[in-house]
Amino acid sequence: MPRYVILLLQILAASSFIVNFAYAGDAAAGKIKFSTCEGCHSVEKYFNVYPSYRVPKLGGQHEAYIQSALQSYKNGDRAHETMRANAANLSKEDIADIAAYLAQKDVFKGAANNVRSQDPVARGKEKAATCAACHGKDGNSAAPTFPIIAGQHADYITQSLKQYKSGTRKNAIMAGSVAGLSEDDMKDLGAYFAAQTGLEPILE
Ligand code: HEC
Ligand code: HEC
């Protein structure tokens, strides 16, 4: 192939590259901008609340698709309210940066090993060690004055823990147990105990 043809092909390739990536983002900047999204997207087995379904995986997704998806939330083509709120304030540059970050290949593999992306049940299991003395290891307490919490609804458990912490439910023993817990801890504990076999609903 003559030299000038090669050169021409190179120029064409380079220019189409520029056209395709007109808003080519900065992955490092995108990583920082994505931190507000991690609460949902970086938690393994995180569910949308209602209706219940898994939050989509984004790691390794096509850059152009991410950009278009975020634009769709911005312009209303996609109705999901939380995502609309999250996309609303993103500039074109933010969207490009985030898309560049998410589209990277191979960098997200093994992410399940870090604590953030462990599921709440696994995190709750670690935190439940301090509850075992009274409620039993899996929440099936042996002592009759210590309630069974295995199999209880996760949100009920979390709500109860919050009430002990705020003092709207008063119990000296439990007040001491929840004093050091964050809201995330309470959710993780709820998830863990709810996942154990124990209480059953009473259905007619
Ligand atoms: C409160 C939880 C939550 C937060 C925070 C959140 N997302 Fe989402 N995200 C979701 C859910 C749920 C969906 C699926 C929505 C739907 O059904 O359209 C979604 C969908 C998406 C999609 C579409 C994926 C696809 O395959 O179509 C993208 C892209 C996305 N989110 C990026 C982000 C970015 C970027 C942020 C931060 C600026 C963010 N999200 C913050 C819960 C969240
Ligand atoms: C020293 C013993 C003790 C420890 C430790 C303890 N609890 Fe309790 N827990 C109790 C007692 C006693 C009650 C009943 C209190 C009451 O009547 O409100 C209770 C009540 C509860 C309830 C409310 C149950 C219901 O059906 O309303 C939940 C949820 C709970 N504990 C979770 C936990 C978790 C999670 C931990 C660990 C972070 C923990 N507890 C640690 C003794 C303990």
Q: Of the bound ligands, which one is closest to the alpha carbon of residue 187?
A: 2
The reported pLDDT for the residue numbered 9 is: 53
Q: Identify residue 83 by its one-letter amino acid code.
A: M
| Residue bearing the CA closest to ligand 1, atom 29 | 66
Q: Ligand 2: list residues with CB < 6 Å.
A: 130-131, 133-135, 145-147, 149, 157, 160-161, 169, 171, 173-174, 177, 189
Region 62-77 average pLDDT: 91
CB of residue 40 inside a 6 A radius of ligand 1: yes
The reported pLDDT for the residue numbered 132 is: 95
CA of 143 to the centre of ligand 1 (A): 44
- Rounded CA-CA distance 111/29 in Å is 19
Query: HSE on the CB side for 152, CA within 13 Å?
Result: 21
CB of residue 98 inside a 6 A radius of ligand 1: yes
Asked whether the beta carbons of 44 and 33 are under 8 A apart, the reply is no
- Rounded CA-CA distance 69/35 in Å is 18
CA-to-CA separations, 123 to 45, 86, 119, 187, in angstroms, rounded:
12, 26, 6, 10
| Residue bearing the CA closest to ligand 1, atom 14 | 55
- Percent pLDDT > 90 in the chain is 45
The reported pLDDT for the residue numbered 7 is: 56
| Residue bearing the CA closest to ligand 1, atom 6 | 37
Region 46-75 average pLDDT: 83
Nearest-atom index, ligand 2, CA of 190: 35
Sole residue written with tokens 């290891």: 137
Instruction: Tell how far CA 52 is from the center of its chain.
Output: 14
Q: Is the predicted pLDDT of residue 186 greater than 90, yes or no? A: yes
- What confidence tens digit (pLDDT) does each residue in 101-157 have? 998 877 776 554 444 446 889 889 989 999 999 999 999 998 888 899 998 888 889
> Could you tell which of 32, 83, 94 is best to mutate to test the pocket of ligand 1, judged by most ligand atoms within 8 Å of the CB?
83
Question: Token pair for residue 168?
Answer: 């709207």
- Rounded CA-CA distance 138/67 in Å is 44
Sole residue written with tokens 């969207």: 95
Query: HSE on the CB side for 63, CA within 13 Å?
Result: 19
Asked whether the beta carbons of 55 and 46 are under 8 A apart, the reply is yes
- Rounded CA-CA distance 151/134 in Å is 16
